[in-house]
Structure 1
Amino acid sequence: MIKILERQTFLIALTFVTGLFLFLLKPFFAPILWACIIAILFHPVQLWLKKKLGEQPNLIALITLIACIFLVVIPFLLLLTSFFQQGSALYQRIASGEIQLAQYFDQIRRAFPVMQQFLERMDIDIASLQKNATELVVGIGSFLTQNAVALGIGTFNFFTKLALMLYIAFFLLRDGRQLIEKLIYVIPMGDERERLLFQNIAGVARATVKGNLLVAMLQGTLGGLIFWILGIPSPLLWGVIMAIFSMIPVIGAGLVWVPAAIYLYTITQWFEATVLIAYGVFIIGLADNVLRPILVGRDTKLPDWMVLLSTLGGLTLIGVNGFVVGPLIAVLFVAFWQIFGKDFNVGKYAHQDSNSEIETNAEDSIKSKPGKQL
């Protein structure tokens, strides 16, 4: 009785201390998450270096991290800087009156009277819709302007978290395998189950980041290229926005190029609008409809509808980190139910197997005695 009480008290204290520690780590959720993703994505590079350099964990982790900085971090910062600069420049043109958003809305209303009639039938106030859309665009532009200035002088918070992410990534690259083995040792769920879960976590993180980022980069590049060819202002800005929106499966990039095509129709640029629609459907859309299921759905072993819902749910609840966390939760949900079905329904399956075995034996017995068949 005393031993049971001691064990229960210890487990309560362990749960409390663990929860308290996780609460302390909450402000650093994003750096820890992306450090884990870096360690998972660059693990093949680490294995290749290990074959070339032998057992030198510190050197291998350092070289891998430097490769990550030059291949991922620096290009991302350069792209982010250009994105904020073009966004703030566009906002300045709107604020100065050079770009009249109200005029654009009037052109769209005149060019598509059917759309106006449809909105009126749905009891949607067009003036209110125009006002809200204008406020949204101005708000986004203001946000980009403020953050462009902040990025130019270097925000302490951003670069602190970036440095923390790289710092954690180094130790995960160096000691990640030992950490996983320790977790498998202390978690009381059975080594086989735990290894299966860790494999699923690594596979989903690798598939979602690799797949979604490749699709986002491809769609953003294709979108920015066609905007530049058609002479649409700030093609880099719209390309980056398309890449961001492409994190939303199915409809992502279309949230940018469809309104652009509609506007081109309103200003009677029929050829450019038709080219943009055809390009968006057959080129940009092809990357989403063909590559995403191959790169994401196949590796995660999740159906397309579950990938879509979990991604949207993750993005809605926790922002950009959700496009990884959402599918990760979904695959853990599936994995736990598979383990439950395998391990906790043994009696049910054993009963079914026993019945099938009895039926098989009975059939064999009848076949072996043809004289007694009815």
Structure 2
Amino acid sequence: MRTTDPSDDELVRRGSSALMDVLIRAGLIVVLALLCYRVFSPFLTLIAWSVILAVTLYPAQQSLARRMGGRQGLAATVLVLAGIVLIIVPTAVLLSSVGDSVRGLIADVQNNTLRLPPPRDSVATWPIVGEKVFAIWSQAHDDLPALVQSLQPKVGNLARTALGAVAGIGGALLMFLAAIIVAGIVMAFGEAGSGAMQAIFVRIIGPARGVEFAKLSTATIRAVAQGVIGVAFIQAIIVGVCLLIAGVPWAGVLSVIVLVLGIAQVPAVIVTLPAIAWLWARSDHTTGMNAAYTVLLLVAGMADNVLKPLMLGRGVDAPMPVILIGALGGMATAGILGMFVGATLLALGYQIFMGWVATSPSRSPAAPAAQSDLAAGD
């Protein structure tokens, strides 16, 4: 008859107790992580934008700090104030003007005080839609309340949608204001933050590739940001030149609007389409010239679709298609913020996968040696 060794029972009890301790501790860590995430989640988007802005602007802040005698805080403050003056203030003024215009238009329509000028005879000669536009425009000039009544509830829904869009952009602007202020604080302590980020990567991935992946993440974020801003500037210049050639008034102001919209990843056709409508309705050009200018403005408004693939992946140790797919997929999933996160994640994933492929057993030093021995035996 087999007897049980008391020492074996003691080992089993100790193993069970140790396993229970590990499970309890792991469970407590998971609960703590979930609670921390719940507390931190309202600020997650703000912190993510702040880190993106800080990583993007850090080289400029360092260059400015060297010229200011190494005063990191002052250099970060100057960049924050410059960002507020150059981006946030003009955008806020534009949004306020748009909101006032929409509210004024709604009030005029409701009070029957809105008057439209009669359409020109040339409107009827527009290709495809000319006669229909001329008829609707003439009806709006003759009896606008009847036209508005016939289009209900579409007009009301459109007005509410427009006001909602303006309010949403205003909220995003306030978030961007807070993000750039937090980014200034992060840049002021950039050296310590960079060291902490590298330490985190090294702790997670290991000392062999931790620093490399930290640099890759930084380069990807900067490449995407510079690609977005660079594309916005180039497209604003192209659209501005096209507007000047076509003789559209306020071409400079419209090009600045295109620049702001491009940085916010809003299509430039929002500006070019009204300009095209003005050409056909108010300009003195011939039909052929208006058609040529229409094509020119449409191409200029969609130039970012060609420029982004050319500029997004520059300076990153990953193929351009990887960065582009990551940026576009991330933007489709989580908006503008997802564009940066998606490109960074896909670049890191690509490097990890290619590193795994490079360490394949078929590429080990023993394989070529074995093959040479076989060849010698033959």
- Do both share a fold (TM > 0.5)? yes
Pair 1:82-2:93 in alignment: yes
Q: Say whether the 8 Å CA contact 1:311–1:322 is kept in structure 2.
A: yes
Q: Say whether the 8 Å CA contact 2:76–2:184 is kept in structure 1.
A: no
Match in the other structure for 2:206: 190
- Aligned pairs for 1:30-49 (under 5 A) are 30-48=45-63
Residue 138 of structure 1: CA displacement? Answer: 2.6
Separation (CA, whole Å) in 2 of partners of 1:162 and 1:196: 27
Q: Say whether the 8 Å CA contact 2:50–2:179 is kept in structure 1.
A: no
Give the 3 Å change call, closer, same or farther, for CA 312–362 of structure 1 in structure 2. closer
Residue 79 of structure 1: CA displacement? Answer: 1.9
What is the root-mean-square deviation of aligned Cα atoms in Å? 4.5
Match in the other structure for 1:341: 357
Pair 1:326-2:342 in alignment: yes
Gaps of 5+ in 2: 1-14, 133-150
Separation (CA, whole Å) in 2 of partners of 1:300 and 1:254: 30
Match in the other structure for 2:247: 230
Separation (CA, whole Å) in 1 of partners of 2:100 and 2:241: 20
Match in the other structure for 2:182: 165
- Aligned pairs for 1:118-137 (under 5 A) are none
Match in the other structure for 1:25: 40
Letter matched to residue 182 of structure 2: M
Once the two structures are aligned, what percentage of the paired residues are identical?
13
Match in the other structure for 1:372: none
Separation (CA, whole Å) in 2 of partners of 1:28 and 1:333: 26
Separation (CA, whole Å) in 1 of partners of 2:105 and 2:268: 23
SS in 2 for 1:169: helix
Residue 239 of structure 1: CA displacement? Answer: 5.3
Count residues with an aligned counterpart.
333
Q: TM-score scaled to structure 1, two decimals? A: 0.68
Q: Say whether the 8 Å CA contact 2:327–2:342 is kept in structure 1.
A: yes
Residue 211 of structure 1: CA displacement? Answer: 1.2
SS in 2 for 1:175: helix
Residue 170 of structure 1: CA displacement? Answer: 4.3
Separation (CA, whole Å) in 1 of partners of 2:263 and 2:198: 36
Letter matched to residue 43 of structure 2: F
Residue 32 of structure 1: CA displacement? Answer: 1.2
Separation (CA, whole Å) in 2 of partners of 1:6 and 1:203: 42
Q: Which of 366, 369, 375 is equivalent to 1:357?
A: 369
Residues 260-306 of structure 1: per-residue CA shift (max 9 Å, x gap): 5377457785324422422553x56556524x334312334555555
- Aligned pairs for 1:74-223 (under 5 A) are 74-92=85-103, 94-95=105-106, 96-97=108-109, 98=114, 111-112=127-128, 138-143=159-164, 158=175, 161-162=178-179, 165-166=182-183, 168-170=185-187, 172-184=189-201, 187-223=203-239
Residues 344-373 of structure 1: per-residue CA shift (max 9 Å, x gap): xx43432xx54443333444666xxxxxxx
Give the 3 Å change call, closer, same or farther, for CA 217–300 of structure 1 in structure 2. same
Pair 1:257-2:253 in alignment: no
Give the 3 Å change call, closer, same or farther, for CA 326–265 of structure 1 in structure 2. farther
SS in 2 for 1:298: coil
- Aligned pairs for 1:240-255 (under 5 A) are 240=257, 243-244=260-261, 252-254=267-269
Gaps of 5+ in 1: 117-129, 367-374
Give the 3 Å change call, closer, same or farther, for CA 247–163 of structure 1 in structure 2. closer
Give the 3 Å change call, closer, same or farther, for CA 243–42 of structure 1 in structure 2. closer
Match in the other structure for 2:5: none
Separation (CA, whole Å) in 2 of partners of 1:18 and 1:160: 29
